[in-house]
Structure 1
Amino acid sequence: MKIAVLGTGGGARAHIAKLVELGHEVHVGTRDPRATLARTEPDMMGTGPFKEFLAEHPGIALHTFGDAAAASDGLVINGIDGHNAVAALSAIGDQLTGKTLIDYAVPYRYNPDIEHPWPTPWGVMPVLDPCDSDSLGEQIQRALPATKVVKAFVTQEQDTVVNPKAIGGGDHTMFVAGEDADARQQATDLLTSYGWSDVLDLGGIVAARGMEMYAHLHGAIGFALGFGTHFGIKVVR
């Protein structure tokens, strides 16, 4: 299958490498391919230059966001940062028409000036914007009415999304939400190919609010276990 991954950060790279391993043809999108390949310094998360990743994974095509989306035959994974996702995806709406877009972005607003900041090992915890009465997943769906948006992957580190059995033998839960049942099934099928055995369908895209707001609890658990510790969550029925 021809699958597009939009973004070149650490999370996107986890999906790119796994999809190639599974035999898919992967088309990677970035804002400016020339600028991406010219970078020599790590990004804000400490992830090395993308050209080094490409050297280790030959055969991956790097395009603009629009060209990568156009090259897919039905499935696109959004790894664009939450602050810029709606604008970047809206600009390539024609190339996303009729396709399933799996979004795992968190709508973080960094360095917030708030009354009660939450200190973390790297500074103040970002705030979620939107929150409670809207979600990034819903905003993307409204901006792209002809695209089948599915919110998924967002409740887990992407390294674990693509390798669930690394935690507890895979005995933990992943979630999907979106307006189109077939698109939710497509996301579930991809997760199954990644190794997930427990995928909980939450229904409509409004459930993206809960998944995105979970990001703060995910961070708190991570701090308690030790920064950098990967873990899973399990819905016990």
Structure 2
Amino acid sequence: MKITVLGTGGGARAHIARLAGLGHEVHVGTRDPKVTLARTGPDPMGTPPFKDFLAQHPGIQLHTFGEAAAASDGLVINGIDGHNAVAALSAIADPLAGKTLADYAVPYIYNPDIERPWPTPWGVNPILDPCDSDSLGEQIQRALPHTKVVKAFVTQEQETVTDPKSIGGEHTMFIAGDDDAAKQQVTDLLKTYGWDDVLDLGPLVAARGMEMYAHMHLAIGLALGFGTRFGIKVVR
């Protein structure tokens, strides 16, 4: 299958490598491939240059966002940062039309100037915008009415999303969306990644809870020790 991943950060790379390992033809989208390949230092998150990653994964094809979306034969994974996702995806609405977009972006606002900040080892924790009365997933769906948006992967580190067995035990992955066939497509992918427990939360409005869970994920991660990978199990 031809699957597209939009983004070149650490999370996107987890999907790119796993999909390639599963035998898929992987197309990667970035704003400007020449700029991406010219980088020689790590990104703000400390991720090494993408050209180093490509050298370790031959066969991966790098394109502009639009070219990559057009190359997919039905499934696109959105790894564009939440602050820029709506604008970037709106610009490629045509090649995304009719396709399933699995979105794991979180609507973070970094370095917020707020009265009561949440300090973390790397500085003030970002805030969410939108929150409560809207979600990034819903904003993307409104911007792309002809694309089937499925909120998925967002409640977990992407390295764990793509290899859930790596931390042992059975844990739960959540999805939400308004198109049942699209949700099944994403569920099928998750099963190939190794997930046994995929919980459908219903329509895309549930993306609000999924995105807001990012703060709880941080709290648990800090309690366990930053960098510790973990999963959440819904017992029922």
Please give the TM-score of this superposition, normalised by the length of structure 1: 0.99
1:193 aligns with 2:202: no
Query: 1 CA distance for matches of 2:44 and 2:161?
Result: 21
Cα distance per residue 1:164-209 (max 9 Å; x no partner): 001223x000011000000000000000000000000011000000
The code of the aligned residue for 1:94 comes to D
Match of 2:15 in 1: 15
Displacement of 1:87 after TM fit? 0.1
Please give the secondary structure, in 2, of the residue aligned with 1:146. Answer: coil
Q: Structure 2 stretches of 5 or more lacking a match?
A: none
Equivalenced residue count is: 236
Q: Secondary structure at the match of 1:150?
A: strand
The equivalent of 1:233 in structure 2 is 232
Tell me how far apart the structure 2 counterparts of residues 61 and 125 of structure 1 sit (CA, whole Å).
34
Partners of 1:132 and 1:147 in 2: how far apart? 23
Q: Secondary structure at the match of 1:231?
A: coil
SS of equivalent to 1:83: helix
Q: Which residue of 2 aligns with 1:56?
A: 56
Counterpart position of 1:214: 213
* 1:74 aligned partner: 74
Query: 1-side partners of 2:68 and 2:85: how far apart?
Result: 15
User: In the alignment, what sits opposite 1:164?
Assistant: 164
Residue in 1 aligned with 2:175?
Answer: 176
Instruction: State the partner residue of 1:104.
Output: 104
Structure 1: stretches of 5+ with no match in the other structure: none
- Residue 53 of structure 1 aligns with an amino acid whose one-letter code is F
3-state SS of 1:87 partner: helix
TM alignment of 1:27-38, pairs within 5 A: 27-38=27-38
Corresponding residue SS for 1:44: coil
| Deviation digits for residues 1-52 of structure 1 (CA, Å, limit 9, x no counterpart) | 0000000000000000000000000000000000000000101110000000
Distance in 2 (alpha carbons) for counterparts of 1:132 and 1:77 = 24
**Aligned residues: percent identity?**
82
TM-score (norm 2): 1.00
Partner of 1:205 in structure 2?
204
Q: Distance in 1 between matches of 2:133 and 2:41?
A: 38
Q: Secondary structure at the match of 2:223?
A: helix
Residue 182 of structure 1 aligns with an amino acid whose one-letter code is A
Partner amino acid for 1:235?
V
After superposition, give the CA deviation of every residue in 1:134-189 in whole Å (9 maximum; x if it has no partner). Answer: 000000000000000000000000000000001223x0000110000000000000
SS at match of 2:58: coil
1:184 is aligned with what amino acid? Answer: K
Aligned to 2:121: 121
